[in-house]
Structure 1
Amino acid sequence: MDIKLVDRGQEGELILTGKLDSNNAVQVGELFLKTADRFKDITLNLSGLKYISSAGIRSLKKLYMKVRSNGGELSIINASQNIQEVLEMIGYAEMFNLK
């Protein structure tokens, strides 16, 4: 898993590449929360994300909860068709402002 941060003032964009699964979900989740402490709004660019497990989805939900508690917005862009379908199936597509 590789994550690149793009600083856009009050918004941070995280570009994820690889797989978000139980092998790295804890570390990625910690990075997500640190990013939420720094930026009000966060965009997750999933153009390079090939796979997400339930542990990865939990990390996304924790990030969402933190961003919302800070009064911000979490958006997901460029998700593959498979990842979009998973997020839609579990009812998270609207919550994550999937674009």
Structure 2
Amino acid sequence: MEIRIDKNDQDVVVSIIGRMDAVTAPDFDQEIEKKISEGEKRFVVDLSQLEYISSAGLRSMLSMAKKLKQNQGTLALCGLKGVVKEVFDVSGFSSIFSICEDVQKARKAL
């Protein structure tokens, strides 16, 4: 899994590339924790290049949302497709998160 972080004056866009599972999810958690501890509060997570997400990856997303809520932050996900979208739909996570079509729309939703 590769994590790309693009920070601007208004928000942080986190792009996840590859597979998010029990092995790689802790890397994501660490990157997000670092950004939140730096005071970042507005996040877009771009999942358009994510090929697979396990329950550990879902747990990381939920943990991120909870941490942001505790810090009066906001989160929007975008780019869900294929197996990843199916996992979010079946698990019920699609109704928990703000999910947008692309990064531009997700930024507006924050």
Describe how 1:57-96 pairs up with structure 2 within 5 A: 57-96=58-97
More strand by share: 1
Deviation sequence 1:34-57 (CA, Å, 0-9, x none): 222331110000111000011111
The residue type paired with residue 88 of structure 1 is D
RMSD across aligned positions (CA): 1.3
Percent identical across equivalent pairs?
27
- For structure 2, list consecutive stretches of 5 or more residues without a partner in the other structure: 101-110
Correspondence list, 1:14-93, <5 A: 14-38=14-38, 39-93=40-94
Distance 1:44 1:34 in 2: 15
Q: Is the 8 A contact 1:12 1:42 kept in 2?
A: yes
CA contact (8 A) 1:22 1:53 kept: yes
After superposition, give the CA deviation of every residue in 1:52-99 in whole Å (9 maximum; x if it has no partner).
011111111110101111111111101113212211222211322011
TM-score (normalised: structure 2): 0.82
Amino acid of the structure 1 residue aligned with 2:93 = Y
Between the aligned partners of 2:47 and 2:60, the Cα distance in structure 1 is 14
Looking at secondary structure, tell me which structure has more helix per residue.
Answer: 2
Give the length in aligned residue pairs: 99
In the superposition, the TM-score normalised over structure 1's length comes to 0.90
Distance in 1 between the 2:24 and 2:86 partners? 22
Moved more, 51-60 or 85-94: 85-94
